[in-house]
Amino acid sequence: MSIPPPAAPVTEVPLLDAAAARAGDERAVAAGGSWAGLMERAAGHLARGVVAAGGHGYGLKVAILVGKGNNGGDGWAAARRLRSLGAAAWVVAVPGVDAETSSEAADNRQRWLDAGGRTSSGVDDLDAALGWADVAVDALLGTGIDGAPRGDIGVAARALLAARARGTTVVACDIPSGVSSDDGSAPEGAVRADLTVTFGAWKRGLLLHPGAAHAGRVVVGELGAAYDPPAGDWRALTAVGAAPARLGPDSDKRRRGVVKIVAGSVGAGGAAVLCARGALAAGAGLLTLATPAHVQRVIVPVIPPAMTEPLAHAGEAISPKGAAQLGLDGVDVVAAGPGLTPGEGTYALARRLLAKAPRVVLDADALNVFRDDPSELADHAGDLVLTPHERELARVGGGSSGEEAWAHRVERVPALAAEYGATIVAKGPGTIVAAPDGRVWVCATGSPALGSGGTGDVLTGVIAAAVARADDVPLAVARAVWWHGLAGELAGAGNAGYADADDLVAALPGALARARAWADAGVAYPFVPDPQAIRAADVGIPTSGSRIARSRGTGGRP
């Protein structure tokens, strides 16, 4: 008997949009499966998730709110599965028990009715069913439908929100109703779940915010080997994929990367210090901080590991002469922007870096100086990384305002990355990293602790250190964002979720160490089993074929 080789470690998790998820279902059926078989498998995952979320099977009271699509069919089938596990199920058919639906959903509905399963038709018994239940299931709308739930479905969604506010555990089938699978948008009235049992693979909207905050914890129920959605460009790194590379015995300071940071002005020297500290904590081998001369005198004693380079200045900020003075020989990457001020000097600096530096990271005012003509960003000699928050994203062509740019980031950020030939980090909850070649990563780590001043300056330094000697710059950027997010989680832990940029820098070495340890152990954090969230073992339910993970319920804006 041959021994199968060990499974390859999971470095990335694919993220599907609604079309890809549907295509995966269709391929599974074309390969010899059936729609009925997929529904039965999904219902099994849903029932196990419900029982695990409730903490027990026998005696558990479950209200299942079903719509007229296949999502509702999963709910009808899960009711039968729950009964076999000892739970009591009450199905509320929101569109009515006679609503037209697929043959598979209709068959599962009839099987439940024939068995005498407790059922209500319409919305009249919603309050009674939800008041009776320990766990409520949202099987109203599926992955192919988003937007604010309307009509009776909207009434049911609001009833689920009210029940959850009263303490009822809510489990969503595939995706919370109203949340977009494609972009994570969640209009008012969208369901909020404590647990989402999704099928086949992660949907993009379960990691993108605000959808991630509506999803709660996420279980991926596998649909079999024949489920084969088309390969897409969207993914999320695991700890295995994000782990820092091991240092070889010959890893001297230059092999670890020569980084130059251009930052700071009068009143904003702290931004320069934080950026430099972020780069050093993330492993930069040799760091020089270039800053206006009158700022340099103050910074020298603050960061002993860094060299400093004084630049000519005009008033508080760097001057065009200072930009021309900047040395670039032997530098692997230059990061510019934190603490600079907009003006002729900053513009001259940014233009010179685009033309001369081998790798450039532009942040803050080094990015804002292109607001009048962002197309200039496409003219660069080396690798370019841009790190806008939502307002800066709008200024470089992402939209008419920060809010509008953020709402449309899913389509616009990859398009801008291709247009400018740059890797773009759209900072915020569920940060997006888009590469010029079409690859996109959604960061699965992060914390509200990152929502404090200076954390974005730290990120700029971390990115610079990561890309200094990287073979794949966009992937290195995605890893840096992942490290920064995990450090935010660690910084906020034990402090009620609050932290400042100094706390973040202090947490970075531990974040890198944890990522390396998890990778060595083959742990795909944050996509890992969590027995506190899903206690299937406590009730004797097999969990083979399911992956349990933390979704980003909250996130911070660097």
DSSP string, 165-218: HTT-EEEEESS-TT--TTT----TT----SEEEEESSEEGGGTSTTHHHHH-EE
**What CA–CA distances, in Å, run from 119 to 96, 135, 436?**
10, 16, 53
Q: Which whole-number Å values give the CA distances from 366 to 108, 342, 400, in the listed order?
A: 59, 7, 20
Domain co-membership, 297 together with 191: no
Supply the DSSP string of 469-518, one letter for each residue: T-SSHHHHHHHHHHHHHHHHHHHHTTTTT---HHHHHHHHHHHHHHHHHH
Residues 477, 345 share a domain: yes
Whether residue 528 lies inside any domain: the answer is: no
Provide the pLDDT for residue 5.
Answer: 52
Q: Report residue 479 CA to chain centroid gap.
A: 13
Q: Do 465 and 480 touch, CB atoms closer than 8 A?
A: yes
Quick one: 133 and 265 in the same domain? no
Contacts 24+ apart (CB under 8 A), 97-102: 97/121, 99/68, 100/68, 101/68, 101/69, 101/70, 101/72, 101/73, 102/35, 102/69, 102/70, 102/73
CATH number of domain containing 186: 3.40.50.10260
Q: How long, in residues, is the chain?
A: 558
Is 529 inside any structural domain?
no
478 and 437 part of one domain: yes
CB 477 within 8 A of CB 460: no
- Cβ atoms of 289 and 299 within 8 Å: the answer is yes
The per-residue pLDDT for 143 is 83
Looking at the fold, whether 280 and 426 belong to one and the same domain comes out as: yes
Q: Decide: 491 and 506 in contact? Cβ < 8 Å.
A: yes
Coil/strand/helix, residue 159: helix
Tell me which H or E stretch contains 399. none
Does 276 lie in the same domain as 209?
Answer: no
- Look at residues 230, 246, 273 and tell me which one is the last residue of a structural domain: 230
Range of the domain at 157: 18-230
279 in any annotated domain: yes
Same domain membership, residue 277 and residue 174? no
Number of domains observed in the structure of the chain: 2
Which of 231, 239, 232, 190 has the alpha carbon at shortest distance from 210?
Answer: 190
For residues 306 and 461, the answer to whether their CB atoms sit within 8 Å is no
- Predicted TM-score (pTM) of this structure: 0.91
Does residue 213 lie within any of the structural domains?
A: yes
Q: Is residue 537 part of a domain?
A: no
Same domain, 224 and 287: no
DSSP 9: P
Q: Report how far residue 329's alpha carbon sits from residue 158's, in angstroms, rounded to the nearest whole number.
A: 62
CATH number of the domain that residue 319 is part of: 3.40.1190.20
Res 7: pLDDT: 61
Parts of the chain with a pLDDT under 50 = 1, 529-558
Same domain, 34 and 122: yes
In a domain, 140, yes or no: yes
33 and 139 within one domain: yes
Give me 30's structure tokens: 């074309």
Report which of 512, 507, 421, 506 is spatially closest to residue 465, judged by C-alpha positions. 512
* One domain for residues 351 and 443: yes
The pLDDT assigned to 533 comes to 37
Q: Describe the chain by its helix, strand, coil percentages, rounded to 5.
A: 40, 15, 40
250: Cβ–Cβ under 8 A, 6 or more apart, which residues? none
Q: Is residue 443 part of a domain?
A: yes
pLDDT at 500: 93
Residue 238 covered by a domain: no
Indicate whether 142 and 276 sit together in one domain: no
